[in-house]
Amino acid sequence: DGGITQSPKYLFRKEGQNVTLSCEQNLNHDAMYWYRQDPGQGLRLIYYSQIVNDFQKGDIAEGYSVSREKKESFPLTVTSAQKNPTAFYLCASSGTSEKLFFGSGTQLSVL
């Protein structure tokens, strides 16, 4: 089935540790996105990429990094500089229809 796969579903980070969230899509979409969702809040854009080897900061990029070496993959690293990383992270992709397709998310918690 075509879609977006995020892994792991749950992730725990220790103080000072970097962690990487995986996002893979087989929809042949050019654009991919990372959003952060906090309880009672809407989604906020962290980073997005319109093509391979290119990406732009969203509204809350500080403390995060991304790479886009392959069209199918857009991993997000939560660095130790992100002081409040506990949140639900959603990856999305879009083709030509301006409609976002979302993965099932990763819940990141701090130990």
Partner 1 sequence: AQKVTQAQTEISVVEKEDVTLDCVYETRDTTYYLFWYKQPPSGELVFLIRRNSFDEQNEISGRYSWNFQKSTSSFNFTITASQVVDSAVYFCALDLLQTGANNLFFGTGTRLTVIP
**Residue from 11, 13, 44, 79 in contact with partner 1 (CB under 8 A):** 44
Among 40, 83, 84, 111, binds partner 1 (CB under 8 A): 40
13-34 burial string, b = 16+ CB within 10 Å, else e? beeeeebebbbbbeeebebbbb
Range in contact with partner 1 (rule: CB under 8 A) among 12-20, 61-69, 70-78, 87-95: 87-95
Look-up of token digits 């579903």: 9
Cβ-Cβ contacts under 8 Å for 37 (sequence gap 6 or more): 43, 44, 87, 88, 89, 90, 105
Among 11, 43, 52, 61, binds partner 1 (CB under 8 A): 43
Q: Considering only residues 68, 74, 94, 108, which one is a binding residue for partner 1 as defined by CB under 8 A? A: 94
98, β-bridge pairs: none
Binding site for partner 1 (CB under 8 A): 31, 33, 40-45, 48, 50, 56, 58, 88, 90, 92, 94, 98-105
